[in-house]
Amino acid sequence: MSSTWSASSGSDIAQLAKRTALRVALRVGQVAHAYLVVSPPGVEGVGVALWFARGLVCTSPGRRPCEQCCECVAARRLSHPDVQLLAPDKGTLGIDRARHVIRLCHGRPLRSERRVVILDQADTLTHEAQNALLKILEEPYGPSVLVLVTCRPDMLLPTVRSRCQPVVLRPRPDREAARRVAVEYGAGEGDAELLADVASGFPGRVAQICEQGRWRKAVRLVDGILDTAKEGDDLALLQLAEEMAALPDECLELVLDTLRSKLRLLLRQVLAGSPHATRAWASPDVIIEAVRIVTLTRRRLNNNVNRKLCLDGMVLVLAELVNG
């Protein structure tokens, strides 16, 4: 999953970095040799890492990064010789990339006091590559700083994680902004509300979902499940479950998140007495139970269960629930 998407302004990024170890490091000048920046999907972890890199090469006597000096400007254009940003090649960061990182980290800075190497989507590092990186994590070279960026820290070896200073980014959700982003991407009012919910109110996540282009398929599947469950057509439901089971992990997660959000919005409509909502899914208790089933399914699918059986179970229970 890419974390390079950018919708945040410079000040948003500085805000994100505000209460992190990165801001403190720049202020007091005590810089670790390796950081692990953990950001939720759609939040600009790599933007924060680059902001930190600018802070390290900035020559301003005042607050760093000043965003004005030659060093800041060059780093912002990714043309600074002491700021390197590496991303996966064909979805993986392999051993060759790791060796390249080691070479970079062993090199002397050319213009600044430090050399910063940023590895985006560090979760795509192969085990071999991670083991190779341990070399520089265990015996760091003085002026080099390695920044790993990921939204999936669980994919990294504990030995790698434990040798990096953790930086966890916690943006505040903004539902209204998330809804606006969805509208900008062409979603209608209802879908925009749904998207904002699926993205937990993070505008960056909304944009990421829209750019991946799987959104409409997810909505179509979810509408199909809810309608077919109401009709009680088990055969058609099992076909939908089969269709879901064949999806790549990220798409299936999006479908389940969309299903859960749709149910939550239905619940709100039912509680507000909307006649439109009550025609399909009438009782708050039923909807709350349905949300629980979907949440449980989402969790179980992360544990290597048979996904077809798991999804079959979910759609059939939903049909039973809605038909009382």
Binding residues for Zn ion, rule: CB under 5 A, are: 58, 60, 65-66, 69, 72
Q: Which is nearer to Zn ion, 66 or 282 (CB)?
A: 66
Name the nearest CA neighbour of 152 among 57, 237, 24, 38: 38
Distance between CA atoms of 183 and 193, rounded to whole angstroms? 9
User: What minimum distance in Å lies between the beta carbon of 80 and Zn ion?
Assistant: 11
DSSP state of 123: G
User: What minimum distance in Å lies between the beta carbon of 83 and Zn ion?
Assistant: 12
Cis peptide before 65 (omega within 30 of 0): yes
User: What minimum distance in Å lies between the beta carbon of 85 and Zn ion?
Assistant: 18
Q: Which is nearer to Zn ion, 14 or 69 (CB)?
A: 69
Q: Which is nearer to Zn ion, 40 or 65 (CB)?
A: 65
User: What minimum distance in Å lies between the beta carbon of 67 and Zn ion?
Assistant: 6
Q: Which is nearer to Zn ion, 70 or 288 (CB)?
A: 70
Mark out the alpha helices in 213-283 (DSSP H runs): 215-231, 234-245, 249-271, 275-280
Q: Which is nearer to Zn ion, 58 or 255 (CB)?
A: 58
> Do strands 115-119 and 144-150 pair parallel, antiparallel, or not at all (unpaired)?
parallel
Distance between CA atoms of 57 and 109, rounded to whole angstroms? 10
User: What minimum distance in Å lies between the beta carbon of 23 and Zn ion?
Assistant: 15
- Residues with Cβ within 8 Å of residue 45, at least 6 apart in sequence: 3, 37, 38, 39, 120, 149, 150, 151, 169
Distance between CA atoms of 73 and 57, rounded to whole angstroms? 10
